[in-house]
Structure 1
Amino acid sequence: MKSFEYGDSEVGRKEVLVGVANMVIGFGVLTLPRTVANATHSIDGWISISLGGLIVIFFAGVLAKLISRFPKKNLHEFTSLIINKPIATILTFLFASYMMLFVCYEMRVVAEISKLYLFDRTPTEVICFVFFLVTIYAVSGPSTVILRLNLLFMPIILFIILLLIVMNIGFFEFKTTKPFFHTGWSEILRGSKETIFSFLGFEILLFYNAFINETKNTVKFTIMGMAIPLLLYLLVFVFVVGVFGVEVAENTLYPTAELAKRVEIPGGFFERFESVFFTIWVVTLFSTASMAFDVTLLAFASIFLKKIKRMTFIFFLSPLIYIIAMSPQNFAETSIFGEWISYLGIGFSMFMPLLLLVIAMMRGVKGNG
C-alpha cells in the first residue's frame, strides 16, 4: 500500500476514473433516449450513441494526453507555458464562466426533476435554494474530498441503474425494436450530436490534474471512465425502446423515469420505485454540480494567484449563480440554456485541448517547460 494514495492533497487513479464517469453520468441518462429517438426514429439510435461516444472518448484521450504532459499543473499554469500568460488568463476566465453556467444548469435541472417526481407542492425556487446550500457546503472544503465522495456514490448509482434494467426485463419486447439498420446517415449523425452533449464533463480534469499523484496512466483511466457512461447509455436506450417503443420514447419527457415507474417489487417493499430512483439520481447531480462549482472556484483562484480566499469567491459567486439558475421561465427556455452550455462545452473540452496539445508538441513544451 502506498501512503500517498490517501494523502489529503492528492488523488489516485481510481478517483480519476470514477470522477470522470460520475461527472458525465447525470442528466443525460434521463433525456438521452428521447433526444436520440427524436433524431433517428428507430432502435438505430444505438449507432448514434456509439459513434458520439467514441468521438468524445477520443477527445477525452486528447485532453488526458495534454494534462499528462504537465504533472501537477492546471489549465492556467500549463497554458502559460504553452502560449503566454495573458492568453492563459483569458482562456481560464472563459472556462471558469462556462463551468459556472454548468452549475446553474445542473441546479435548475435538479429543481425541475425534484418538483416533478418528489416535491410536487414545493416551489422550484425553494428546491433550488436548498440544493444549492448543500452544494456550497460541499465546495467549502478541499477539492480532494469531493473527488473521493465519487468512490462512495458510484457503486450505488451503478446498482440502481442495473436494478432498473433487470426489473424491466419482463416488459422488454423484441418486436418493438424492429426494423434494424434502416435509418439514414443524416439522422444517425444528428443523433450523435445529441449524444455528444450528454458526454461532456470530463473537462474538469483540466484543473483536477493538479491533484493527481500519478499522471502516466491518466489517459488509460480517463478513457475507462468515459467507457462507463457509454455502456450505460447504450443499455438504457435499448431498454427504453424495447419496453415502450420508439414513438413513446420520442414523446416522453424523461423516458428513463418511466422505466422506474414500471418497476414492481414483490411484497410492496417499494411501492414507488421511481422515488428511490430519483433520490439516488439527485445525489448524482449533487456530485456533478459540486465538482463543477469546485472547478469554477479553482479556475478563478488560479487567475488571482490565490490572493483571494475560497470563501470570498463562494460569497460573491453564489447569488449570481442562483439568479442565473432561476432566470429561465419554463422548460423550453431551460432546454435552450442547456443546449448553449453544451456548445460551449464542446469548445472547452474538445477543440481547446486539441489546439493546446498540438501547439505544445510543435513547440516541444512539456513538464516545467
Structure 2
Amino acid sequence: MAQKNQQQRISGYEGAAIITNTMLGAGLLTLPRALTREMLSPDGWLVIIFEGIVFLLIIYINAKIVKTHNVDSFFNYTKEGCGVLIGNILNLMIALYFIGVASFEARAMAEMVKFFLLEFTPMGVTIFAFIICAIYLIIGGISDMAKIFPFFLIITLVILLTVYGLSLKMFQINNLRPVLGLGLGPVKNGLTVVSVSFLGVELMMFLPKYLRNKKKLFKASVIGFSIPVILYILTFCVVVGAMTASEVMTMIWPTISLFQSFEIQGIFIERFESFLLVIWTIQFYTTYVVYTYFAASGFKNIFGWSIKKNVLFVGAITFLISILLKDGNYVIVFSDYLGYIFLIVFCVLPILIFLLVAAKRRFKAS
C-alpha cells in the first residue's frame, strides 16, 4: 500500500502542468468575446492583468493556509473545521461543482467540434467518445495523468505561439486604443467575466495530498496560474488587435475565427485553425480528466467508494448533464454560475475553514 501511494505522488513541475492544463479549457477561445461584449471596449487586457494580480495574492494566502495547518487533503480539512456531517455536505457540494465543470467542458468541446468539424454527427456520440477516452486515463490515477500533461502543455504552447506569431501581420495597435477611453466603468464590468476563465486554480487546495514535496505548492501554483494568464493577455490583444472589439463581440469562437481569416503565401498549410482545434480538444480533455478525477476523489472521501467505481459514476452523470444543456446559450449561462461557485470554493471557503480550524485547535490547546 505504501508503494502504491508513493507511485501516486507527483512533482511540483507536474503539479504546475495540471493547473495550467486545467485552466486552459474553453476560456482562451471565448474570453475575447465575453470581455468585449461585457465591457464594450478594447480594455479587456487591463482586467486580465488586474485580476491576475488579485488571484496571485489569493494563491499566496491559500498556500499559507496549507503550510500553517499542514493541510493534506482539503476534503479532510473541511471535516476538521465543520465536523463530519457538515464537512461531508460541503465536500459533496464541492464534488458536485467539479462534476458541473467537467460537464461544461464536455459540452463545450462538443459544441466546438460540431461547429467546425463534425456538423452532422450527433452530439451525444461525440461526448460519449470523449468521456470514454477520459475514463481510460483517469483510472490509471493522478500519476499517469501528471506524466502526460506536461507533454500536452508543450505541444499547446509551441503551436499556439507559432500561430499567434503568424497572425501578427493583421495586428493593429490602434484597435486596442484609446486605453481607458470609456473610463474605469467597463473595467469594473469585466471583472466577473475573467474569473470564469480562472477555473482550475482552485485545485491547488486539493494537490498537497499528491505532491512529493508540499513546500513546492506555492511555486507550482504560481507557475501553473501565470502561464494561462499570460496566454489570456496575449490572446486578447492579438484577437482584438487584429479584428477590433466591435467585430469580436459578435463571434462565438473569435480566436478560431481569427485564424480562419488569414493566409500566408508560400506555406503548404492553409487551414491554420486546424492546429488550434486539435490543441483545444486536448485542453478540453485534460480539464475534464482532472475535474472528474477530483470529483471521484471527493466521493471516495465521503462514501468510501473506490476511485474506479466513482469515475464510472461521475462519467455517467457528466454525460447526462452535458446532453441536457439545450444549446450554446445554456452552456454560457451554466458557465457563469460555475464561475460564481468557483469564487466561493477558491476565495471564501478556505479562509472560513482556516478560521474554524484555528479556533478549534486553539480551544483544544487551552
Question: If the TM-score is normalised by the length of the shorter chain, which range does it land in?
Answer: over 0.9
* Cα distance in 2, alignment partners of residues 156 and 259 from structure 1: 20
Q: Which amino acid aligns with 1:216?
A: K
- 2:345 corresponding residue in structure 1: 348
Q: Which amino acid aligns with 1:328?
A: L
List aligned pairs for 1:155-174, cutoff 5 A: 155-174=154-173
Alpha-carbon distance, 1:62 to partner: 2.5
Structure 1 residues without counterparts, runs of 5 or longer: none
> 1:269 and 2:268 equivalent?
yes
- 2:110 corresponding residue in structure 1: 111
> 1:316 and 2:313 equivalent?
yes
Alpha-carbon distance, 1:70 to partner: 5.0
Assess, with a 3 A threshold, how the Cα gap between structure 1 residues 254 and 184 changes in structure 2: closer, same or farther.
same
- 2:301 corresponding residue in structure 1: 302
* Cα distance in 1, alignment partners of residues 357 and 269 from structure 2: 55
Alpha-carbon distance, 1:150 to partner: 1.3
Query: Under a length normalisation based on structure 1, what TM-score does the superposition of the two structures give?
Result: 0.91
Alpha-carbon distance, 1:315 to partner: 3.3
> 1:76 and 2:57 equivalent?
no
CA contact (8 A) 2:79 2:87 kept: yes
Alpha-carbon distance, 1:210 to partner: 0.8
CA contact (8 A) 2:101 2:291 kept: yes
SS in 2 for 1:183: coil
* Cα distance in 2, alignment partners of residues 268 and 286 from structure 1: 30
- Note the alpha carbon deviations across 1:314-363, whole angstroms, 9 max, x for none: 33333222111111111111111111122111111111112223334455
Number of residue pairs the alignment of both structures matches: 359
- Note the alpha carbon deviations across 1:34-59, whole angstroms, 9 max, x for none: 11111222222111111222222222
- Note the alpha carbon deviations across 1:259-312, whole angstroms, 9 max, x for none: 22134344453221111211111011100100000000011101124xx22222
Assess, with a 3 A threshold, how the Cα gap between structure 1 residues 71 and 212 changes in structure 2: closer, same or farther.
farther
Alpha-carbon distance, 1:71 to partner: 4.7
CA contact (8 A) 1:22 1:150 kept: yes
List aligned pairs for 1:138-157, cutoff 5 A: 138-157=137-156
- 1:282 corresponding residue in structure 2: 281
> 1:357 and 2:362 equivalent?
no
Alpha-carbon distance, 1:225 to partner: 1.6
* Cα distance in 1, alignment partners of residues 58 and 250 from structure 2: 32
* Cα distance in 1, alignment partners of residues 146 and 333 from structure 2: 30
Structure 2 residues without counterparts, runs of 5 or longer: none
Q: Which amino acid aligns with 1:284?
A: Q
Sequence identity percentage: 25
- 1:177 corresponding residue in structure 2: 176
* Cα distance in 2, alignment partners of residues 281 and 273 from structure 1: 13
Alpha-carbon distance, 1:7 to partner: 5.3
* Cα distance in 2, alignment partners of residues 201 and 273 from structure 1: 28
Assess, with a 3 A threshold, how the Cα gap between structure 1 residues 267 and 97 changes in structure 2: closer, same or farther.
same
- 1:331 corresponding residue in structure 2: 328
> 1:206 and 2:205 equivalent?
yes
Alpha-carbon distance, 1:108 to partner: 0.3
- 2:219 corresponding residue in structure 1: 220
- 1:66 corresponding residue in structure 2: 65
- Note the alpha carbon deviations across 1:67-90, whole angstroms, 9 max, x for none: 334557212222233342222211
* Cα distance in 2, alignment partners of residues 362 and 159 from structure 1: 48
Alpha-carbon distance, 1:244 to partner: 0.3
Query: Under a length normalisation based on structure 2, what TM-score does the superposition of the two structures give?
Result: 0.92
* Cα distance in 2, alignment partners of residues 338 and 286 from structure 1: 17
CA contact (8 A) 1:63 1:203 kept: no
- 1:29 corresponding residue in structure 2: 28
* Cα distance in 1, alignment partners of residues 357 and 260 from structure 2: 51
Q: Which piece of structure 1 moves more, 204-213 or 90-99?
A: 204-213
CA contact (8 A) 2:71 2:77 kept: no
* Cα distance in 1, alignment partners of residues 138 and 112 from structure 2: 23
Q: Which amino acid aligns with 2:306?
A: K
